[in-house]
């Protein structure tokens, strides 16, 4: 399938190359020989290339009076081509050969470029159908025209869009009369859209081939002019390699036109040809389209008519986003439509567009259309079928089916991405096209996507919200059907559970009694062993001697390491606690100078007052007094008092200790007397504040004995 698309692109590129060289030869020198260029085409493309070259020469060839020649005159100039012209198909009884070649090109399905119709061809064709099959310009699906079907108002049953195959006679005459528009030569018509006709044109000043879009009507209403100019303003501000750039917008008399880059290639709808495409190739293309949409969205532009026919695939297989004819800007020109007007192609239209709420459309509208496009490329089908009214009604009331229901070869992740893009509620969709591109590239890279498929319960809940009356009736019937038997079962199970809990509780009580008895026996054994151990060495300071010996050995072996590592601890609390602990060990080993150094360093850490800091101040003052540094001891006690934490009984004990140390630290008799009096006052206050209850004696002993 991909090879067929590639070969079609190669054919288009070959034909365009021959035609472009033929046009350049006409503009750069004497009239070229059409037969020489026809020889450059392979035999199977001879008639196709002849139709193109014939139309180009009709456009450029002039007689001696400067007037354009007709088919008969051109046949006289090239008599050797008359047999080939006779092989071209005809339309409406127009015979082959001179005088009919232009009509031949109109009927030929081989050419989408050479469809210029000359003003002297004859009367307007009738608007009745001949029982033909044509392709919709929006979705490329086949549309059957019955014998009595009008061709000026055709509706596509697949995507619901409406288009016309002919214009009014006035429009035809105005179109035929156009050979140039400003500085642009109109070379060939590329196609007709819902709003305008696109021509291949030459910029005579810049010498480049461009695409020129003009309205289908000769004159435009004010609203139509606004819509046409809005496309130019929206697209002209966008700069992205995957967006077809708009060069300028112009006006020639009453005719408006837009000039954009001429892209050689096919539309995405032509490439897909209504068949499922390889999932990885679809993911790669849609990721690039999502990038282009994101660029437009960041500039405040919402496309609002995204569909495969608005995406060109150039010869390098690069998708190019085009046709911002319905684009809406988020800022400045908020919208040019009235509330209730439906804009867009129904098959790709978001629910908010289908409701006619133009002021609600935002970037999530394009995300919805991107999901429809992803669905179509993966399955070859649209999520909703029928005419425009049926499609709009279904997308307002139903969720789209999973792509996997139409094509089991679609990977679960791609189906999930497509369905999330097409959520009925915009808040449930991807909120930006960039998220869609990221999800698609996660799939391509073999990574898990962020979106999760909707569960069966979720589908049921959504169905219930859409059908509340029916859902309530079903729920009530289910409750009545199972309520009685279920209640009996529930009560029986509940009684059984109560009995089991009572039995379990009784077992726990028995187990607790056994555990208590076992604990009492073990406690008695422990007391007997402790008494036996303490009887071995009756000296009260026996444990103190071995502890000091152990501390001294510890400091001899590890003091340098501790002193170095204590400063590398991560937090101030950890450093202070470690330094105070090291100081207490040093003081226990009578290494008072080193202990004082560690205490000073610990108290230098910027921490909140605490009992540990108070004890550190007291120990520092005592060490300084032992060293004969009374001033230093007094300063340490003053710092401690400055950080006082209040006067609870627990805090009064270190306060009394500090007062007594001040008595020893002061040389002045008056200061000693004052400190001693303050200490006695604190003792009296502590005595009054200590608990009087007997059951709190353990707490009193712990405070007074320093345990």
Which residues are annotated as part of the binding site?
217
* Binding site as annotated, residues for ATP: 217
166, 151 in Cβ contact below 8 A?
A: yes
457, 449 in Cβ contact below 8 A?
A: no
CA 86 from chain centre, in angstroms, equals: 58
* Whole-angstrom distance, CA of residue 13 vs CA of residue 19: 10
**79 phi, psi to nearest 5 deg:** -65, -25
103, 51 in Cβ contact below 8 A?
A: no
**CB neighbourhood size of 118 (10 A):** 15
Q: Show Cβ contacts of residue 355 under 8 Å, excluding neighbours closer than 6 positions.
A: 396
* Whole-angstrom distance, CA of residue 98 vs CA of residue 87: 12
Closest CA to 269 of 140, 380, 113: 140
Instruction: Decide: helix, strand or coil at residue 431.
Output: coil
- Give Dmax (Cα) for the chain: 142
Tokens of 314: 């150039």
Lookup result for tokens 């696109």: 198
* Whole-angstrom distance, CA of residue 640 vs CA of residue 644: 6
**CB neighbourhood size of 293 (10 A):** 29
How many residues does the structure list for the chain?
707
* Whole-angstrom distance, CA of residue 147 vs CA of residue 161: 21
Q: Show Cβ contacts of residue 252 under 8 Å, excluding neighbours closer than 6 positions.
A: 181, 182
Q: What is the DSSP letter of 78?
A: -
User: Which strand (E) or helix (H) includes residue 103?
Assistant: helix 101-107
CA 560 from chain centre, in angstroms, equals: 58
* Whole-angstrom distance, CA of residue 629 vs CA of residue 631: 6
Q: What is the DSSP letter of 619?
A: H
263, 311 in Cβ contact below 8 A?
A: no
Instruction: Decide: helix, strand or coil at residue 693.
Output: coil
CA distances from 277 to 83, 268, 282, 310, 311 (A): 41, 11, 6, 18, 16
Q: Quick one: residue 409, left, alpha or beta (phi over 0 = left, psi -120 to 50 = alpha)?
A: alpha
* Whole-angstrom distance, CA of residue 545 vs CA of residue 535: 17
E strand spans, 545-695: none
Instruction: Decide: helix, strand or coil at residue 133.
Output: strand
320-344 in b/e form (b: 16+ CB < 10 A) is bbbbbbbbbbeeeeebbbeeeeebb
* Whole-angstrom distance, CA of residue 229 vs CA of residue 249: 8
Q: What is the DSSP letter of 410?
A: S
Lookup result for tokens 């495409």: 277
Tokens of 83: 């047999």
């Amino acid at each position: 399938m991909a090879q067929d698309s590639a070969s079609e692109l190669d054919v288009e590129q070959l034909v365009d190359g021959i035609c472009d060289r033929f046009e350049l030869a006409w503009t750069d020198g004497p009239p070229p020989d059409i037969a020489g260029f026809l020889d450059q085409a392979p035999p199977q493309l001879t008639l196709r290339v002849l139709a193109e070259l014939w139309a180009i020469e009709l456009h450029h060839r002039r007689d001696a009076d400067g007037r354009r020649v007709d088919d008969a005159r051109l046949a006289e100039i090239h008599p050797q081509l008359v047999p080939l012209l006779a092989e071209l198909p005809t339309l409406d009884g127009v015979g082959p050969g001179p005088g009919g070649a232009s009509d031949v090109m109109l009927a030929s399905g081989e050419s989408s470029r050479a469809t210029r119709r000359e003003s002297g061809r004859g009367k307007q064709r009738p608007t009745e159908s001949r029982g033909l099959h044509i392709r919709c310009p929006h979705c490329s699906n086949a549309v059957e025209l019955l014998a009595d079907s009008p061709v000026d108002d055709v509706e596509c049953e697949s995507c619901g869009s409406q288009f016309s195959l002919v214009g009014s006679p006035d429009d035809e005459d105005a179109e035929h009369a156009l050979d140039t528009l400003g500085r642009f030569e109109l070379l060939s018509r590329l196609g007709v859209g819902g709003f305008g006709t696109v021509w291949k044109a030459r910029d005579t000043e810049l010498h480049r081939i461009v695409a020129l879009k003009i309205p289908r009507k000769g004159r435009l209403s004010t609203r139509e002019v606004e819509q046409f100019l809005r496309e130019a303003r929206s697209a002209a501000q966008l700069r992205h390699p995957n967006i077809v750039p708009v060069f300028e917008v112009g006006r020639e008399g009453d005719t408006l036109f837009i000039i954009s880059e001429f892209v050689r290639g096919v539309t995405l709808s032509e490439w897909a040809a209504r068949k499922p495409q390889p999932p990885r190739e679809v993911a790669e293309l849609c990721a690039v389209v999502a990038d282009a949409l994101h660029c437009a969205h960041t500039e405040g532009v919402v496309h609002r008519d995204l569909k495969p026919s608005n995406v060109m695939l150039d010869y390098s297989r690069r998708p190019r986003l085009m046709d911002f004819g319905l684009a809406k800007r988020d800022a400045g020109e908020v919208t040019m439509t009235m509330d209730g007007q439906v804009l867009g192609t129904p098959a790709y239209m978001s629910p908010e567009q289908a409701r006619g709420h133009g002021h609600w459309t935002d970037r999530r509208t394009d995300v919805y259309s991107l999901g429809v496009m992803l669905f179509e490329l993966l399955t070859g089908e649209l999520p909703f079928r029928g005419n425009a009214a049926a499609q709009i009604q279904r997308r307002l009331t139903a969720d789209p089916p999973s792509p996997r229901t139409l094509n089991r070869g679609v990977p679960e992740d791609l189906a999930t991405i497509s369905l999330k893009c097409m959520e009925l509620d915009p808040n449930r969709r991807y909120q930006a096209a960039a998220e869609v591109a990221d999800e698609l590239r996660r799939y391509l890279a073999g990574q898990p996507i962020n979106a999760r498929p909707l569960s069966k319960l979720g589908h049921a809940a959504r169905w219930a919200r859409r059908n509340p009356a029916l859902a309530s009736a079903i729920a009530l019937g289910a409750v009545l059907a199972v309520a009685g038997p279920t209640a009996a079962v529930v009560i029986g199970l509940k009684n059984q559970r109560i009995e089991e809990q009572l039995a379990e509780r009784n077992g726990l009580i028995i187990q607790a009694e056994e555990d208590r008895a076992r604990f009492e026996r073990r406690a008695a054994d422990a007391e007997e062993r402790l008494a036996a151990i303490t009887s071995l060495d009756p000296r009260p300071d026996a444990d103190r001697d071995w502890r000091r010996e152990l501390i001294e050995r510890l400091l001899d072996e590890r003091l340098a390491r501790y002193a170095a590592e204590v400063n590398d601890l991560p937090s101030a609390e950890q450093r202070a606690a470690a330094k105070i602990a090291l100081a207490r060990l040093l003081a226990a080993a009578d290494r008072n100078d080193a202990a004082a150094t560690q205490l000073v360093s610990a108290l230098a850490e910027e921490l909140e007052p605490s009992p540990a800091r108070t004890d550190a101040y007291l120990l520092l003052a005592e060490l300084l007094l032992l060293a004969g540094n009374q001033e230093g001891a007094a300063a340490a006690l003053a710092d401690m008092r400055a950080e006082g934490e209040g006067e609870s009984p627990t805090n009064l004990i270190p306060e009394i200790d500090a007062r007594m140390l001040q008595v020893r630290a002061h040389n002045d008799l008056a200061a000693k007397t004052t400190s001693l009096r303050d200490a006695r006052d604190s003792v009296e206050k502590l005595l009054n504040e200590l608990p009087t209850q007997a059951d709190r004696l353990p707490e009193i002993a712990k405070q007074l004995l320093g345990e």
